[in-house]
Structure 1
Amino acid sequence: MSILIVDDSQDQRLLLQTLLHQAGYLDVVTAESAAVALARLSELSEPQSPAIDLILMDYLMPEIDGVAACRLIKSRPHLRDIPIIMVTAKNDPSNLKEAFDAGATDYINKPVNRVELQARVSSALALKREMDCRKAKEQELRASNEELQRALREVKTLRGLIPICASCKKIRNDLGAWQQLEEYLREHSEAEFSHGLCAPCIKKLYPGVYEH
Structure 2
Amino acid sequence: MSDWRMPGIDGLGLCRMIRERGGDYVYFILISSNRVTKENRQLALESGVDDFLTKPVDADELGMRLHVAERILGLSAQVKQLETFIPICGYCKKIRNDRKYWQEIETFFSQHQGTKFSHGVCPDCYERELVPQLEKLGIDPAAARGGES
Bucket of the pairwise TM-score, normalised by the shorter protein: 0.5 to 0.7
Cα distance change, pair 116–73 in 1 and its aligned pair in 2 (3 A): same
Greater C-alpha radius of gyration: 1
Deviation at 1:125, TM superposition (A): 1.0
Deviation at 1:176, TM superposition (A): 1.2
Cα distance change, pair 80–60 in 1 and its aligned pair in 2 (3 A): farther
1:81 aligned residue = 26
Deviation at 1:80, TM superposition (A): 6.2
- Please give the per-residue CA displacement for 1:73-102, whole angstroms capped at 9, x wherever unaligned: 011122662110111111111111111001
- Structure 2 unaligned residues grouped into runs of 5+: 88-94, 96-103, 110-117, 139-149
Does the residue aligned with 2:40 lie in a helix, a strand or coil?
helix
In the alignment, which of 176, 180, 187 is matched to residue 136 of structure 2? Answer: 176
Counting matched residue pairs gives 110
The one-letter code matched in structure 1 to 2:105 is Q
- Structure 1 unaligned residues grouped into runs of 5+: 1-55, 164-171, 179-212
Does the residue aligned with 2:76 lie in a helix, a strand or coil?
helix
Does the residue aligned with 1:140 lie in a helix, a strand or coil?
coil
2:17 aligned residue = 72
In structure 1, C-alpha distance between the alignment counterparts of 2:22 and 2:5, rounded to whole Å: 25
In structure 2, C-alpha distance between the alignment counterparts of 1:175 and 1:90, rounded to whole Å: 84
Cα distance change, pair 58–68 in 1 and its aligned pair in 2 (3 A): same
Matches within 5 A, 1:111-130: 111-130=56-75
Cα distance change, pair 157–116 in 1 and its aligned pair in 2 (3 A): same
Deviation at 1:70, TM superposition (A): 0.3
1:62 aligned residue = 7
TM-score (norm 2): 0.60
1:157 counterpart = 2:113: no
In structure 1, C-alpha distance between the alignment counterparts of 2:39 and 2:133, rounded to whole Å: 75
Matches within 5 A, 1:20-99: 56-78=1-23, 81-99=26-44
Deviation at 1:158, TM superposition (A): 4.2
* Coordinate RMSD, CA, aligned: 3.5
Matches within 5 A, 1:14-25: none
Deviation at 1:140, TM superposition (A): 3.4
In structure 1, C-alpha distance between the alignment counterparts of 2:30 and 2:9, rounded to whole Å: 16
Deviation at 1:173, TM superposition (A): 2.6
TM-score (norm 1): 0.44
The one-letter code matched in structure 2 to 1:173 is Q
Does the residue aligned with 2:84 lie in a helix, a strand or coil?
helix
Does the residue aligned with 1:107 lie in a helix, a strand or coil?
strand
